[in-house]
Amino acid sequence: MVAVTATTETGARPVRARRRLRLPAWFGTTPFLAYVAIFLLLPTGIVVVNAFRSPSGALNLSGLKAPFESPDRSLFTGSIQLCLISSVLGAVLGAILAYAIASGDPDGAVRRLYIAVSGVLAQFGGVTLAFAFVVLIGPVGLLMHASWFYTFPWGIAVIYTYFQVPLMVLVFLPAIDGLKVQWREASESMGASAWQYWRYVGGPLLAPAFLGAALLLFANALSAFATIVAWENQIAYIVPQQIYLAINSEVGLSNVNQADVLALGMIILVAIIMTGYALLQRRAARWLR
Amino acid sequence: MAAVTSVGEAPLAASARRPRGMQAGRRRRLNAFRYVVFTFFTLFFLLPLLAMLRFSFEGSSLGTWSASAWSEIVSYQGPPPLLSAVEISLELGVLTSVVTLALLVPTMIWIRLRVQWISRAFEFLCLLPLTIPAIVLVVGLAPVYNRIRHYELSALMLFWAYVILALPYAYRALAAGLNAIDVKTLSEAARSLGARWFTVIFRVIAPNMWQAILNALLLSAALALGEFTIAYTLLYNNLQVELYSIDRNTPNASVIFSTSLTALIFTFLLLLIISYAGRRRRRGMR
Amino acid sequence: MEGLSRRYGDVVALDGLDLTVQPGELVTLLGPSGCGKTTTLRLLAGLEDADGGQITVGGSDVTRLPASKRDMGMVFQAYSLFPHMTARQNVAFGLRLRRIGSAERDKKAVEMLELVGLAEQADRYPHQLSGGQQQRVALARALAIEPQVLLLDEPLSALDAKVRAQLRDQIRRIQLDVGITTLFVTHDQEEALAISDRVGVMQGGRIEQLAPPTEIYSRPATAFVAEFVGLTNRLAGTVSGSTVTVRGRDLPLVDISTPPGPAIALIRPEAVTLASDSSSESGPLTGTVIASTFLGATSRVTVDLGDTTIMAQLTTADAVALPAGSRVSLTIRPDPVLVSADAAPAAEAE
């Protein structure tokens, strides 16, 4: 046997005949870091930097005021309105569905079916979905013609909710699974009714996870673009639509700057939301794992 | 951050549970509740899909029936022909999922084994694309893609951006797979038997998370197939953009629905199969 | 409990079980997994419904009553403390449900925590407490509502050995202090024998023997009990009349109605004594020491008798004098023994 040598702290790549490559272990992550740097961090950086620039390239903070003044302001309120409605609806409905799934056979067909369905529907929310709803409750709808279908925000909110619910199921189900059966039984044996259990034990325990999931839904709705474009693309109701117009219209460079500013606005909004989500998740994880 | 239910994952406690009953009254109420909820949601989810199904069989005038939408998938001329858009999206699907996995699997295993201190930052980076909406990413990517356009490269170049979009989903699926196996012990065992790192990653760890890998693959491919925003904004033509422009030109053309349904059903079946395949394996290992 | 039965699909968990617990008594249900002891406890708690039979508490029939209406306190094996509440809040939970004012609640909670010795940890959260401390809080919580019956479902199984021993004594002390009727479930025979007034050994959904610990140990009613509780030697012998002849010695039988013929005698290691044997003749009760297992104050010595092996329990000092390879002669104390007809060895519980 070879004499035992202590392993070095830094990760050694396989030793080749005479050359010894001693690279620190984290070099293994270089391909990933390089990729992300170029295709995620760089574009984001470009957006952020350009938002602070005037068309001539000088530093210009006036762009930052734009989201708070109309017409951009109505875009942001429109966005937030739509997101609020669809995420509240999605969260509540999704939570109910998630509970129904979680309270059944963990290996059963129903559970697998619904998780697969949720996996698919959470992804395919865009163009396809909007068309499906047009066909269902639009002007020549098979089910009915919902006169409110083309109104903002309620018409489009129904469509948004359709892909929010599956996402809620996927994100919230682990939390419900994390509720230990012993807690229910312990509270029962101490005399708690079902309502008391949810009010004092189940509810408080699920609250952080629920709120976190709802925030995630909110961020998800905020970013949605495809659905609303397929629904109605003549008028820009929400920020992403305006960004698109700003990039692709022929009016000139100044609109690209608008796109950057709007994009920055979105980044900030979503960043706030995701921070809230992360904090809530930490709390939920401690209790429900 | 949060665990997300991936297909095929049953709650860990399930296998450890002995038959544990529930009080009759409570069970009755619970079953009634489940019955109502599932009926409601089955209808809720099914209705638009059924509408799509009905419409995919719609003939040239309202109220008639025709299966032409289905054969048209192959023959729709465009411009551009639907089939070429399908082809591009499929290729993008494959490309995206392969590159995403090639990027993530070795990196994640490596991090878990050797560079644990990076994992927080790594997770943050992987989940960042959730935070940066696609439409915002496109604003920053536009200059890059404008330059690419000079070289007349096809829409396949979209995959660079798609990989980024797929990162959060693939990461979560793979993380779930890694959590389920004892990576440290397996790798130490392999190393003590003389395996190099390459072998450990590709021949020891990765095969043990095949279900998570399949999941990640499918999610990335599904993302590429369903992606619209970036392709549309950058003026490329993929499946979703094509479907959209068909609708713009011929409102409610039924071929849109036949195509979409095919994609949906196909993905759904794959997810379901993965979910069941995982279970059999778990049983087999007992 | 009378005639209780419960099945899960094809599996019969309980098969006509009868059990009466006297007020203030601590009865332990002991048995291997799957024997039905936990099921019995859960039926008593009301967490599951019996398929047949009746449950009476303090004279009233509670069989149809849901768990929340039965006046019982329960301690689970693990994880039962509410993670989002402090120890104090956990203990006060039952009182809060009964709409007891917050000042009084608090007083009672502190009182209970003092009873289990955790008054100083009142404001800690479960994840800040050790396993043993968590179980003590769970006990305080169950007792706070002053229930008629206390139920404990393997409360010590998830704890370290040392903590387990300390905690079981503490549980017994508190139980005697408060004087509450208690049903305790465990698979650990040491626990059962140490703290119970009576022990019910269960197997396959039925109680094999229900008796005080000493009786369970020294006068097991069935072969299963003899083999589950403590260690047993199995030696071939012949029954005739009221004795069984094992390797040339006659030993009295516990059950004198045992039919004559060949049988397996169940003999406790403590009933076997060893003496150094310098003579070279080998008789039915001579053999060679194979191994010694050091158990602290005592040691278990395994002796090879040629056609079988036997275990003897000696003080360590005596065992040290007989190292492996020594020739020894055995004496079997003439305690009444049980015989078993079946030849298949049962699983040993350690």
Give the tens place of pLDDT for each residue, B46-78: 888 888 888 777 766 666 677 777 777 777 766
Could you give the 3-state DSSP secondary structure of residue B193? coil
Residues in chain A with CB shorter than 8 Å from the CB of C94 are: 190-191
B61 domain-assigned: no
Residues on chain B touching A281 (C-beta within 8 angstroms): 1-2
Whole-angstrom Cα distance, residue A59 to residue B67?
60
Q: Is C37 on the interface with A (CB under 8 A)?
A: no
On the question of a cis peptide bond just before residue B106, with omega within 30 degrees of 0, the verdict is no
- DSSP state, residue B205: I
pLDDT 10s digits, A201-219: 999 989 888 988 898 888 8
Cα–Cα distance measured from residue C60 to residue C82, given in angstroms and rounded to the nearest whole number: 31
C contact residues 58-77, partner A, Cβ 8 Å cutoff: 66-70, 72-74, 76
Q: Chain C within 8 Å of A190 (Cβ-Cβ)?
A: yes
Among C8, C34, C66, beta carbon nearest to B21 = C8
Question: What pLDDT, on the 0 to 100 scale, is given for residue A255?
Answer: 62
Residue A186: closest CA among chain C residues belongs to which residue? C80
**Chain A CB within 8 Å of residue C99 CB:** no
Instruction: List CB contacts (< 8 A) between A82 and chain B.
Output: none
CB C67 within 8 A of CB A188: yes
Chain B hits for C48, CB-CB cut-off 8 Å, are 20-23
C67 touches chain B (CB under 8 A): yes
pLDDT score for A254: 52
- Given this model, what pLDDT does residue C342 score? 56
State the pLDDT confidence band at C109, using cuts at 50, 70 and 90.
Answer: very high
Contact A275, A259 (CB under 8 A): no
Give the pLDDT band (50/70/90) at residue A260: confident
User: Using a CB-CB distance cutoff of 8 angstroms, which residues of chain A are in contact with residue C76?
Assistant: 182, 185-186
Q: Which residues of B touch C42 (CB under 8 A)?
A: 21
Residues B23 and B157 grouped into a single domain: no
Cβ-nearest to B19 among C8, C47, C49:
C8
Is there a domain that residue B55 lies in?
no
Residues of B in contact with A197 (CB under 8 A): none
The alpha carbon of C15 is separated from its chain's Cα centroid by a whole number of angstroms, namely 20
- Looking at the structure of chain B, the number of domains it has is 2
Chains interfacing with B (3 or more CB pairs < 8 Å): A, C
Q: H or E stretch including B26?
A: helix B24-56
Mean pLDDT of B91-115: 89
Are B153 and B255 contained in the same domain?
yes
Residues B27 and B81 in one domain: no
Cβ–Cβ below 8 Å for C48 and B19: no
Same domain, B32 and B129: no
Domain of B242: which CATH number?
A: 1.10.3720.10
**How many helical (H) and strand (E) elements, i.e. helices and strands, does chain A have?**
12, 0
Which chain B residues are Cβ-neighbours of A114 within 8 angstroms? 41
Structure tokens given for B176? 């779930």
Do B173 and B41 sit in the same domain of this protein? no
A 57-86: CB under 8 A from B: none
More confident residue, A288 or B6: A288
The answer to the question of residue B99 being in a domain is yes
Q: Which chains touch A (3 or more CB pairs under 8 A)?
A: B, C
Residue A5: predicted pLDDT: 45
Residue B149 sits in the same domain as residue B11: no
Asked if residue B277 is part of any domain, the answer here is: yes
Distances (CA, A) of C345 to C112, C232, C259: 47, 10, 21
- A43 with B165: CB under 8 angstroms? no
Among A177, A190, A193, A287, the strongest candidate for a mutation testing the C interface, having the largest count of C CBs within 10 A, is: A190
Residue B56 lies in a domain: no
Other Cβ atoms closer than 10 A to C279: 9
Question: How far is the C-alpha of B81 from the C-alpha of B85, rounded, in Å?
Answer: 7
CB atoms near residue B213 (< 10 Å): 20
> Does B140 reside within a domain?
yes
Q: How distant, in Å, are the alpha carbons of A4, A14, A17, B157, B195 from that of A20?
A: 19, 8, 8, 38, 18
Interface test with chain B among A30, A39, A143, by most B beta carbons within 10 Å: A39
Cβ–Cβ of A124/B226 closer than 8 Å? yes
Is B202 contained in some domain? yes
Report yes or no: C119 at the A interface, CB cutoff 8 Å. Answer: no
Please tell me which of the candidates C79, C83, C98 has its beta carbon nearest to residue A191: C98
Pair (B137, B271) in one structural domain: yes
Q: Using an 8 Å CB-CB cutoff, list chain C residues near B18.
A: 34
A248 at interface of C, judged by CB pairs closer than 8 A: no
Q: How many CB pairs under 8 A join A and B?
A: 268
Q: Calculate the CA dihedral of residues A150, A151, A156, A159 and round it to 10 degrees.
A: -60
Together in a domain, B28 and B96: no
- pLDDT category at A21 given cuts 50, 70, 90 is low
Residues B11 and B104 occupy one common structural domain: no
Q: For A112-156, how does the pLDDT look when each residue is reduced to its tens digit (9 = 90+)?
A: 888 888 888 877 767 788 888 887 887 777 777 777 777 777 878
Chain B contact probe: residue of C35, C49, C62, C153 with most B CBs at under 10 A: C49
pLDDT tens digits, B172-194: 888 888 888 888 888 888 888 88
Q: Report yes or no: A198 at the C interface, CB cutoff 8 Å.
A: no
Of A215-219, B233-237, B257-261, the range with the highest mean pLDDT is: A215-219
B262 and B196 both lie in a single domain: yes
Would an 8 Å CB–CB cutoff place A5 in contact with chain B? no
Chain B residues close to C34, C-beta within 8 Å: 18
Which residues lie closer than 8 Å to C45 by C-beta, 6 or more apart? A185, A189, C67, C70, C72, C74, C151
User: Considering the domain boundaries, does residue B64 fall inside one?
Assistant: no
Q: Does A282 touch chain C (CB under 8 A)?
A: no
Look at residues C202, C198, C196 and name the one whose alpha carbon lies nearest to residue C349.
C202
Cβ contact A196–C80 (<8 Å): no
The model's pTM is: 0.79
- Residues B17, B103, single domain; the answer is no
Q: How far apart are CA C262 and CA A249, in angstroms?
A: 102
Residue B142 and residue A263: Cβ atoms within 8 Å? Answer: no
Q: Tell me which amino acid residue C290 is.
A: I
Bigger pLDDT: C140 or B245?
C140
Residues 1-40 of C with CB under 8 A from B: 6, 8-9, 11, 13, 34
pLDDT value for A92 = 95
Could you list the residue range(s) of the whole structural domain that residue B170 is in?
Answer: 70-285
Say yes or no to pLDDT of B206 above 50: yes
Give tens-digit pLDDT for C49-64. 888 888 888 888 888 8
A186 Cα to chain C: minimum distance (Å): 6
Mean pLDDT of C327-343: 77
Q: Are residues B114 and B222 in the same domain?
A: yes
